Structure 1
Amino acid sequence: MGKITKKTLNKVLWRTQTTQFSHNYERMQSLSLTYDFAPVLKELYGDRPKEERVHAMQRHLEYFNTHPIAIPFILGITAALEESTDEDHKDSVVAIKTGLMGPFAGLGDSMLNLTWFPIAGSIGASMCVANGSIIGPIVMFLMINLLYWPLKYYGLHLGYEKGVSLLGAEGGISGLQIFDRLANFANVLGVVVVGGLIPTTVKVATGITIASGEGSIALQEQLDKVLPCLLPVILVLICYLFIKKSNGKNTAWVILGVLVACIALSWVGILA
C-alpha cells in the first residue's frame, strides 16, 4: 500500500453501498461517486490549499454511469492514479475513469444482471415451487451477496494495488479483452443453467387424448417419448418473445396472460 491507507479504502467501500441513492438524469452517478471517493481526496489533499481541494472535488463531478458492482474496482484504479499523477495532469485521471465506465457497465450487466442474478433467482424460485419453503429467497439472497461483496472488496483493493497495469496487455491480450471473453463465457453459462432449469421449474402437460380403435392414445405420453419437456420449452419461448418485443415493459401482462390462458385451457381439457 502507498499513501492511501487500507482504512480509507474501506471507507470508500462502505460508501459505495449508497451509490444509487442520489442517481439523477443529468450526471447519473457522478454526485454519489464523488461522495464515495471523498475519503481518498481528503487523505491526498488534506494539507493542500482549499482551492486545490475544491478543484479535486469538482473534477470528479463529471458525468459518470456504470454498473454499481464495478464502481469499487474503478475507484481503486482512480485512487492509484490520483496518488501517482502530477497535479498538472490530473485531468487524465478523470478521462481514464470515464473511459472505464462503458466496458465495466457491459461486463456487469452481462455477468451479473443477466447471468448470476437470474441463476440465483431461478434456484431460489425452484426451491419455493418444490415445497413452498421460505429457504428459496434466503438462498437467492446469499448467492447474490456472497459473490457481490467479495467482488467489491477485492476489486477496490486490487484496483488500487495494480492501477491501470491491471488493464494492460499480457501476451498480446489486453485486460479489457479478457473481460470481454469472461462476459461471453458468462452469457453462455447463464443460458445453459437457465435452460436446464426450464424442465424442472415450468410444468406444462396436455390432457388431450386421441381415440384409437377400442382404446385411446394420450398425446402427452407420445410427446414425452419423442421430445420430453417440449411444452415447457415452447411456453418459455413464447413468453420470452413477448417480453423481448417490449424490452420487458409488458412482463406483468405476460404473467397475467399465462395465468388466464392456463386456466381457460385446463377448463376445456387441453391442459392437464
Structure 2
Amino acid sequence: MKFSTQLSLFLRSFFLQAGWNYMKYQNLGLTFTMLPFLKNEYKNDKDALPSVLQRYLENFNTHPVMASFCLGALAKQEEQIAHAQSLSDFKSKINEWNGIHRSLSITTASIGDRLFWGTLKPLTLLLALFIWLALGVNFFELENGIKIPLFYAFGAGAAAFVTFNAVALFVKWQGLKISYTAKENSCFGLTRFDWNKTIYNAKRIGIVLAVGMILFGVYYYLKDFAEVDVHFVTRAVIVLFFIMVSFITRKLRIPNMYLYLAAVAVFNIVCYL
C-alpha cells in the first residue's frame, strides 16, 4: 500500500462514526473513508463505481479503532475485483469481499470492545487517579473550598488521554498496513498479535491497581478512626457485595448491564440516606 493511500484511509477513518445510523450503522462512514481509494481504483471504469459504492453502503459495524484491519483487507480485495480477468473470477472475488466485509468486522468488533472499552479505558482512568495521588492530590479528603492547581487537575487527565490514544493510533495505523499485506489464513494480520493474552495481562494490571486504590482508601478512612463510620462501612460492604455478584453473573452469563443499573440505584439510595 502506498503511503499516500494509507494516510488517506487513516485520516478519513476518524470520521467512521460520523454517519452512524440505526439502519446500517457505520456504512456511511465506511463509504466516506474508502471513497478516494475507490475513485482511483475505478478511474478508468467510472460506470462501475455506483455498483461498487452500493456494496459499501450495506450494513457495517465494528470497533472504530480495529476498523483499520477491515479497511486494509477490503482495499486489497477491491484491487483484485477491479482487475478480475473473467466474469466467474469477478463473482468469486465479490463473494470473498462479502465474506471479509461481514466476518472481519465481527471479529475486530469483539477484540476492540474487550481491549479498548473493557480494558484500556478503565486502566488509563486508574492511571490518572494514581498520578493525582503522586502529585499530592488526595481525593479521599477533598472538601469544599480546597483548590486543586490547574496543572494537577488537567495533568492526570491528559496523561490518561495520551496513553489511550497512543495505543489506539498505533493499532489503527499498523492495522491498515498489516491487513493489506496479510493473507486470509492469518485472519488478515489479526493473528500476528496475541490479543487474548494482551487483554488478560492488561486486566490483571487493572485489578492490581484497583485493589491498591481500594486498600489506600480503606487505610485513609481507618487510620485515625475513633468510632465506626457507619456510612463508610455500609458503602464498603455494598461495593464488596456487587464485586462478588459480578463474578456469579459472569459465570451464569447474565448481562452485567443489569448489575450496573442495580448498583447505581443502590448507591444513589444509600448516598441519599
TM-score, length basis structure 2: 0.72
- 2:99 is the alignment partner of 1:116: no
Go from structure 1 to structure 2 and tell me whether the alpha carbon gap of 1:49 and 1:122 turns closer, same or farther (over 3 Å shift). Answer: same
Once residues 249 and 178 of structure 1 are traced to their aligned partners in structure 2, the CA distance between those partners, rounded to angstroms, is: 38
**TM (normalized to structure 1)?**
0.73
Which of 167, 173, 179 is the equivalent residue of 1:153?
173
Q: What is the rounded CA distance, in whole Å, between the counterparts of 1:259 and 1:127 in structure 2?
A: 27
- Structure 1 residue 73 corresponds to structure 2 residue 69: yes
Shift of residue 113, structure 1, vs aligned partner: 1.2
Cα deviation 1:185-222 (Å, max 9, x = unaligned): 2343233222212343231345476xxxxxxxx99xxx
State whether residues 72 and 153 of structure 1, in contact with CA within 8 Å, keep that contact through their aligned partners in structure 2.
yes
The AA in structure 2 aligned to 1:142 is V
Partner letter of residue 112 of structure 1?
A: F
Contact kept in structure 1, 2:69 and 2:108, CA below 8 Å: no
Change (3 A) 1:176 1:162: closer
Residues 1:191 and 2:211 are matched in the alignment: no
Aligned pairs for 1:183-262 (under 5 A) are 183=196, 185-202=197-214, 203-204=217-218, 205-206=221-222, 207=225, 236-240=239-243, 241=245, 244=256, 246=258, 248-249=260-261, 252-253=264-265, 256-257=268-269, 259-260=271-272
Structure 1 range deviating more: 81-90 or 249-258: 249-258
**Is the CA contact (8 Å cut-off) linking 2:24 and 2:59 kept in structure 1?**
yes
Q: How well do the aligned residues superpose, as a CA RMSD in angstroms?
A: 3.2
Q: In the alignment, which residue of structure 1 is the partner of 2:142?
A: none
- CA deviation string 1:36-89 (max 9, x = no partner): 111221111111042x11111101111111111111111101111111232333
Q: CA deviation at 1:90?
A: 2.0
Residues 114, 190 of structure 1: 8 Å contact kept: no
Higher relative contact order (CA 8 A, sep 6+): 2
Map of 2:108 onto structure 1:
104
Q: Per the alignment, in what secondary structure is the counterpart of residue 57 of structure 2?
A: coil
Whole-angstrom CA distance in 2 between matches of 1:176 and 1:154 = 11
Runs of 4 or more above 3 Å deviation: 175-179, 205-209, 230-245, 247-261
Which residue, out of 56, 63, 79, partners 1:60? 56
In the TM superposition, what is the alpha-carbon distance from 1:177 to its structure 2 partner? 6.6
> Are the counterparts in 1 of residues 70 and 100 from structure 2 also a CA contact under 8 Å?
no
Match of 2:161 among 124, 141, 146: 141
Give 5+ residue unaligned stretches, structure 2: 85-89, 138-147, 247-254
For 1:14, the equivalent position in structure 2 comes to 11
Which stretch has the larger CA shift, 63-72 or 235-244?
235-244
Counterpart code for 2:58 = E
Task: Report if aligned partners of 1:124, 1:139 keep a CA contact under 8 Å in 2.
Answer: yes
SS at match of 2:182: helix
> 2:33 matched to 1:36?
yes
Spell out, residue by residue over 1:130-175, the C-alpha distance to the aligned partner (whole angstroms, 9 max, x if none): 515221101100101111111111111121122535427xxxxxx7
Deviations 1:234-269 (A, max 9, x none): 5543344489362534665455456457xxxxxxxx
Contact map agreement 1:73 1:156 (CA 8 A) in 2: yes
How far apart, CA to CA, are the structure 2 residues paired with 1:259 and 1:187?
A: 34
Q: Identity of aligned pairs, percent?
A: 22
